[in-house]
Amino acid sequence: MTATQDPASHTPAPARAHAIPSYLDPNNIGPYEIFLEQVERVTPYLGKLAFWVETLKRPKRILVVDIPVHLDDGSIAHFEGYRVQHNTSRGPAKGGVRFHQDVTLSEVMALSAWMTIKNAAVNLPYGGGKGGIRLDPRQYSTSELERITRRYTSEIGLIIGPDKDIPAPDVNTGPQTMAWMMDTYSMNVGRTATGVVTGKPVSLGGSLGRADATGRGVFVTGAEAMQNLGMPLEGARIAIQGFGNVGEAAARIFFEHGAKIVAIQDVTGTIHSERGIDPGAALAHLRATGKITDFPGTEEITAGDFWGVDCDVMIPAALEKQITLANADRIRAKLIVEGANGPTIPAADDLLAEKGITVVPDVLANAGGVTVSYFEWVQDFSSFFWTEDEINNRLDRIMRDAFRSLWAVKEQHGVTLRTAVYIVACTRVLEARALRGLYP
């Protein structure tokens, strides 16, 4: 029998071209193309498990929904909504829901796939999922956003659940969004189901430590990388792109440990100061004025000039595809810690490696959020809740252990840390797929 005919042998199948799914434009695949290229790059390291690698290239389930709602003025508006379950070989799907005007199916597919890798990288018992609604939340009232959220939850209710798919916050969503989702799902199933989402308010079964978890994970992995590279944390110059939940928390924790924040960029502008920026004061200024610019003691620079800031560590914590061939060559940092999902395109990743810049990839660096989401899920099931110190200590241990084991794989194979993460994560997912086999 050939390798193709004998799945039980786990022998790699011959290479062959696969058509892009009809729902994607082959001339402009979008963010999912980044994930496909990352899988192609890691395939040579998978040995016999490469037989199953096509499993990673195809989401298990895609749900596209229409979301009709009454707006405050009495009109009816329709919104596009998505929920993608990329892989559930190792457990229920897990991943956030984002509200953004540029959400596309390709983006949600990519984000769900990165969640598969992320969960496997830190060895959580989850697969990858992701959701999104295509809208600019700034254009809608709180009551309108509640109705949109509740209708979306009802529409995807067929495929989510505490043991099927557990949503969480992402871009432009937060604890209140999760409270609406939990309540809507609970009303539809006739019982309170706190475990259907994570990132909830603490009073509704949420976990202490969740708000800072992603930024804390960025700090822990960044600090570990700095130690391995011989870079002192005290006085290290940090440039942060994105000053939302992840970027602000990462900036604050680095600052508390003696690092110096020299640049912050968000949607309102970019500020720079060689003397350093107090992220707490910068956040207060942003909340008071609605913009990061005009913060005392800083100068405003262009968005493009952010990439050329003289710094030791750069943290892209905004959206995907931010570091490209157009700006990668300008980066002067020795270390990049990816707080956002998919901020670096593969070609730019290669250029950074050639320049000797170490990258802590998104699927490791920002896994703190899903790790504490896992803690929340476990606490909801047991109805026994931990202290914030217990949560932070458990999070720090998991992130440090994952980083150190993945760094060892990097050194063993002589590859980038991103490739090392994909080697370990893809191996774990495909081992589960091979052991389970195919039904029927």
Quick one: which H or E segment has residue 246?
helix 245-256
> What value, to the nearest 5°, has the Cα angle with vertex 415 and ends 412 and 417?
95
Per annotation, catalytic residue among 94, 130, 260, 410: 130
Residue 130 a catalytic site member? yes
Summarize the chain as % helix, strand, coil (round to 5). Answer: 45, 20, 35
Among residues 337, 361, 339, the alpha carbon closest in space to that of 121 is found at 361
Tokens of 12: 């790699």
Closest CA to 134 of 169, 172, 168: 172
Six-digit token string for 134: 């295509």
Distance of CA 124 to the CA centre of its chain: 14
Contacts of 373 (CB under 8 A, 6+ apart): 94, 166, 168, 198, 199, 207, 210, 213
Which phi and psi (to 5°) does residue 385 adopt?
A: -110, 145
Q: Would you name the residues annotated as active-site residues?
A: 130
